[in-house]
Structure 1
Amino acid sequence: MIDAVADQTSGDEPFVRCAHQAMACEWAALIPHADRTYAQQAARAAFAEVDRLERELSRFIGDSDISRINAAAPGTAVRVSADTIGVLLLAHQLQSAFDGAIDVTIGLRVPRPGVGAPAAPPASGPGVAIHAAERSVTRLRADASLDLGAIGKGFALDAAVAVLREWGIERALLHSGTSSVYALGAGCPGAPTGSQPAAADLKCAPGWQLRLRDPADPQRCVGDVWLRDAALSGSAVTLKAGHIIDPRSGEPAGGHLAAWAIAPTAAVSDGVSTALMVVKTDEAVDCLRREASNAILAGVKAFVIAPEAPGVVRALTTTADFRSASGGAE
């Protein structure tokens, strides 16, 4: 759903590319740096952090924090890492911001479409209690099962970017699959003429150019985004068919055909793009307008393809760093 424009580096600056398998997808780091060996070492350190978080947060790893919480009897407090507390608190904030349209506690309780019994509406009440001070989590219902698919990769992406910063990397593009990307620093100098918008057109600082693909036709570009020190995530029916459930009804999500979100962090952009697949356009706009009262939505920008207008990207927020495929700034 998201591609980096291929040529964003000058001829005199090496562009180091590193890849890594984690969280069931290929991660990639693109780092413009004069010292190739140093850049590769920084990328390996960032990927090691992703691996560490996968061991803590994956429900598919038996001794992870998430698996231990899911296996514990309701009412039993489970000691977990600070990272697990952090990602669960973020998920709770996003759940509140979107009126329950994202809920990481539904886990395996809601059957995937086409598999097993028909979906049933989830039980009322919270699924887990988070005790931040004690660094523990208590499962409150027997049917509560944690699954961080809506936010976990984004959370790990933020941690990987933090490692790159610790290594002194000032510019990089870091992907977790093709669904989330973080653009660190300005776009590379020497990019092809016209690849970045003129200030008079879009009034934005130069950034990394990212191309949004139509999930129904991946060869078709539906728009370009210029990103700097921010994250972009995308969700779509064809990419996650059956994997996005409306927690409020237990039914498959029916909000949009595709959704993209820009945010200061990848955890937030990941969660917001998922929530936008659940809520209808009017509800999405209403939720995003609450930015003043929901700090988690500060700086969030969103674009969607609605069922009534396939292939057409609509901006749900005021933004100056998106240009549709037709050439107009939104």
Structure 2
Amino acid sequence: MSETAALITPTDDSRSRQRAPLNPREKSRRRREARGAWTLLGPSLIILGVMVGYPAVLMVIQSFTDYTVKNKVQGTLPDFIGLENYIDLFTQSDFPAVLMRSLGLMVVLTVLNLTFGILVAVLMTRLSKAWRIVVSVGLLLAWAMPPLTATVVWGWIFDTQYGVVNWLLNTVTGTSDWTNHSWLLNPWSFYLVLTIIIVWQSVPFVAFTTYAGLGQVPGEVLEAASLDGATGWQRFRLIVFPYLRSILTVVLVLQIIWNLRIFTQVYALQSRGGLASETNVLGTYLFRQGVGEFGATAAIGVVMVILLLALSWGYVRTTLKEEEL
């Protein structure tokens, strides 16, 4: 078997012999194509370098200095302090607790968004055309609403005095125990409200993306599997999921990044009565910490970038492998 594989698999020498040397005309054509490609990519690369590359490099440099607003006002250069900002970040601040809180919230939000989004997409395939349009419009309205507006609306729903939720709970229980009950003072109920807001706005993206991917699954294969006695879960796991794997991978990575970078909803709820010290996530912590302490805040930004790159590296590696095949 190994001898057969050796005969079939070309060696490096055989590959090199199979490559015919390029003639001058072919070399010239390839050089022109390369110059044309770089000419087309040039403006985009310049914009990326100015808008992304320069700020990123500057942030990394500032994270190793004691750059403050005093240096900016006086026009003086900051001192190089090495890893002191990073050491203080993990030993003399609330950053480790905020980081763990953000990661836990990210996991919960990602699981809920994917679960409900996939369920809604599968449900849309079973609905009639009229009901599918109604559901699509409802999803679009939730998705199109700006995050700040959605947070304000849900904030009124859970309002202490005029909230619909408190009134409904009093009506159901027949008591007044929920009168003037604050949902934002307690960190757990704060995150409950936050989770409802974010899931409500994130499910439409997952649902629409998954629903588009479901159109690629051949109906004949699903029908044949159903006739063979496969259950709904078996059809989804063995037939539907392989077709959706690449799509769901992209959605998963995007959800991880977006849920780790949430800011607007958390900040708006904190402004309505939440305790910032107990409900901060990475975005709000970076915004509230060290006003004018540019070196310390740059260190927080570098850690966030490294974390996001680490979480998305698996997807990037998988994509590169698929392109090589």
TM-score (norm 1): 0.28
Higher share in strand: 1
Please tell me whether Structure 1 or Structure 2 has the larger radius of gyration of its CA atoms. 2
Higher share in helix: 2
TM-score (norm 2): 0.28
